[in-house]
Amino acid sequence: MDNGANVHMFADRWMFSDYHVFTEPSYVTAAGGHKLLILGEGSVGNLQEVLHVQGIIKNLISLTYLAKNGCSYFGQNNTCTVSDINGKLLLEARLENEDLLVVSIVDLLKMPEINLLDRDLYMRNTVNSYENIILMTIDQTIDVLHRRLGHIGKNRVRYMINEGLTSLPYADTDKFYLTHICKECALGKSHRRPHNKSHPKSQIKGGRWYMDLTEMTYESSLNNRYVLGFIDSHTGALFQYFIPKKFVLKEMTMWINEVIKPLRAATNLEFVELISDCGGEFDNEIIKKLLLENGIRQIFTCPYTYEHHGKIERIWRTIDDMARCLLIESKLDETWWESARDTSGYIYNRVVTSTNEPPPYSLFYGSRDSLSHLRIFGSKAYVNIPLQLRNSDHSPISNEGILVGYGDQHLVR
């Protein structure tokens, strides 16, 4: 929302109805004097005379235009409300990072029926700019949330909103549903039947762990081939390490230093058991010595038994499915599996695994992460170039990249 603009300006063609193309080139002058090409004009919901403008990154609703047409607006404490000529509330917006984001649309906008095929095409071509839509209906915000949360099921998204587990500003879950079939979900998720057998979980946080090493089909773009995973039986918290060779000493040591030692220091945890299959990478003298020195009891499931490994199998499948959705969505090739799995693990630890359990990390660390920093995997991202590395006064101040994760190393490529 903008009180400088005289007209409504939208970038997203699919939001229009009654649309007609401008055949003669005409321009609108934006803030800063830039001339932007008008591609067409139409209505967006109940908004009339909306210009379809090339090159704007956000859809703008003009407060000036609304005021001219009998609406009134009122701003206070970072929120702004717009009412019609009879004083009926039309929409409410909240100031966030200098953008006035529409948070509830009462009656002003009834989105036109969107042709599913067009929308799907739109999503595939411009999924990045989808993040920049300033005006979204509830259905669209749910859709974005579903994507940001790694394509988890809609009931879990709804549960997380209702329980206040996300600090994302979308509150109305009454009309909560995904409006279209999610292509990434359809292509990316396996449809095997769920496991029924599950091993009773440990009563003590960090008391029992499952460990597994999985080989991937391709070497990753970061030159790794294997994933070493540790799962805490009590909370479901997952720790993943990516390694080039079938040699796990370094990463097991990291897990002990980064996870087990701090947990022992913070709680009265003493007894730790670690369950794995009896692969040669786990069943050898070096690993035995490491675990013995750190007071960790090693347990092998030999021969392989499903009950013991049910938990890790289930979580691996969740991560597989999510990573596949992220890769499809971002259009990155399969060598990016490491970033996709890393991000999937990151999301998995921070979202609910079912509708009656808090997210694994909030159980494990006893605190809640804000999820407001999550973006759609593969979105455009800009990284600031430090002053001393810039070539001249007028060289770009940031590098353009795409978002492939949230860790220190994986922020942007």
Interaction site with Zn ion (CB under 5 A): 151, 182, 184-185
DSSP H or E stretch at residue 348: helix 337-348
The nearest distance, CB 4 to Zn ion, in angstroms, is 37
- Nearer Cβ to Zn ion (93/185): 185
The nearest distance, CB 186 to Zn ion, in angstroms, is 8
- Nearer Cβ to Zn ion (99/120): 120
- Nearer Cβ to Zn ion (184/281): 184
d(CA 200, CA 180): 38
Angle at 35 between CA 29 and CA 41, to 5 degrees: 70
The nearest distance, CB 286 to Zn ion, in angstroms, is 43
- Nearer Cβ to Zn ion (154/199): 154
**Of 258, 330, 253, which Cα lies nearest the Cα of 293?**
253
- Nearer Cβ to Zn ion (184/212): 184
- Nearer Cβ to Zn ion (21/187): 187
- Nearer Cβ to Zn ion (80/144): 144
In this structure, are strands 79-83 and 89-96 parallel, antiparallel, or unpaired?
antiparallel
Cα–Cα distances in Å, from 385 out to 180, 305, 389, 393, 401? 39, 52, 7, 12, 12
**Of 155, 157, 156, which Cα lies nearest the Cα of 144?**
157
The nearest distance, CB 140 to Zn ion, in angstroms, is 14
The nearest distance, CB 143 to Zn ion, in angstroms, is 8
Q: What are phi and psi of 99, to 5 degrees?
A: -105, 140
The nearest distance, CB 183 to Zn ion, in angstroms, is 8
- Asked if residue 303 has a cis previous peptide bond (ω within 30° of 0), the answer is yes
Name residues whose C-beta falls within 8 Å of residue 156's C-beta, 6 or more positions apart in sequence: 149, 351, 352, 354, 355
The nearest distance, CB 378 to Zn ion, in angstroms, is 13
Q: What are phi and psi of 342, to 5 degrees?
A: -60, -45
